[in-house]
Amino acid sequence: MRTIDWNDEAKSITLVDQTYLPKELKIIECDNLASICEAIRSLRVRGAPALAAAGGFGMALAVTLSSATSMEMLLKDLKVAGDTLKATRPTAINLAWAVNRILKATEDAYDLDSIQDIVISEALRIADDDVKINKAIGKHGHRLLEDGDRVMTHCNAGRMACVDWGTALGVIRSAVEKGKEIEVIACETRPLNQGGRITTWELMQDNIPVTLITDSMSGHVMKNGMVDKVIVGADRITQDVVFNKIGTYTHSVLAREHEIPFFVAAPVSTFDPNGWEETVKIEERDGDELRYMGGEQIAPANVRVYNPAFDATPMENITAIVTENGIFQPPFLLDEVIM
């Protein structure tokens, strides 16, 4: 099942609304730019590779709905639409990567119709490529996991974070596909519990044994020998750090303290070779995500909240990075990793 796709007949985007998981597998339709932007901001669609597909299909919506009567006007509309899409989630680089890839592809256009054809075709190619890339990450990465491993993961880096298969969970799926018995420990992942809500649901759908813990238990389970490996996804990888959902840095420090391998699985499109930790803006989420849960108030309504969505894990805490190009170990030379 593809978690996000383009409906060419209706000229709309269909996607799994992840805010309903695990209670309901609900498919929604986005038929204008505002609706896909809202879906991205509210995390109805989330995960770096899935955001690339959302960015591509968002551009397909923009080109379909534009009333431009000249190439110049249409390209201007696309630039505005691209800027709007990129602003929805500034930390996750895949979204901007997909928008920029489509804008570059339009340089080969020669009339209005060709622009539309190029944009839609490129958006579909981004989605198709994602599935192939994730399978390649799994093909390489499963070698890092041994039969009987207990693997801890954080947030959701499975098929719901991608078009299909997944990155970190894709490595686990590939290992299981090879006949290895793998058990997973999933951190709940505050503030939106994407590990508890989505990762556990995905693994249970695949009959892969999973145990849910709170984020603050990771040191306890590592100290007590319950974790053999840690594997996570990424939203942006710069020269010096890996940005991933808040809490990842803490797990990396604990893994290093307990001499547990810490792996990152991500496509090349997640790399920002010109970026450094200090150049990246970390998105802050609404404080009500911590004041309320499921509509119920769980903290004082007027309490001050600090709610960053991501943190930065330094390269020295990472044992290996897995991409579609293979497994890379320190020192991480990004130019070699993304070739």
User: Which tens digit of pLDDT belongs to each residue from 34-53?
Assistant: 999 999 999 999 999 999 99
Q: Tokens 């709309």 map to which residue?
A: 12
The residue annotated as part of the active site, out of 129, 130, 235, 311, is 235
* Adjacency order of strands within the sheet including 4-7: 4-7, 12-16, 27-30
Tell me whether residue 304 is annotated as binding: no
Check residue 315 and give its pLDDT.
97
Is residue 19 within 8 Å of residue 44, measured between CB atoms? yes
DSSP for 244-286?
A: EETTHHHHHHHHHHTT--EEEE--GGGB-TT--GGGSPPPB--
The β-bridge partners of 14 are 5, 29
Check residue 335 and give its pLDDT.
78
From CA 58, how far away is CA 73, in angstroms rounded?
18
Q: Is 235 a catalytic residue?
A: yes
For residue range 54-74, what is the model confidence (pLDDT) as tens digits? 999 999 999 999 999 999 999
Q: Tokens 């770096």 map to which residue?
A: 48
Check residue 267 and give its pLDDT.
96
Residues (pLDDT < 70) of the chain are: 339
Q: What is the dihedral of CA 217, 218, 222, 228, to 10 degrees?
A: 130
Tell me whether residue 225 is annotated as binding: no
Tell me whether residue 161 is annotated as binding: no
Cβ-based burial of 9 (10 A; exposed 0-12, middle 13-18, buried ≥19): exposed
- Sorted by where each starts, the structural domains of the chain and their CATH numbers stand as 4-134 (1.20.120.420), 144-336 (3.40.50.10470)
From CA 44, how far away is CA 306, in angstroms rounded?
22
Tell me whether residue 178 is annotated as binding: no
Q: Give the DSSP H/E element, type plus range, for residue 205.
A: helix 200-205
Computed over its alpha carbons, how large is the radius of gyration of the chain?
20
Tell me whether residue 44 is annotated as binding: no
From CA 58, how far away is CA 116, in angstroms rounded?
13
Tell me whether residue 170 is annotated as binding: no
Q: Give the DSSP H/E element, type plus range, for residue 312.
A: strand 310-314
152 closest CA partner among 235, 241, 252, 22: 252
Check residue 336 and give its pLDDT.
76
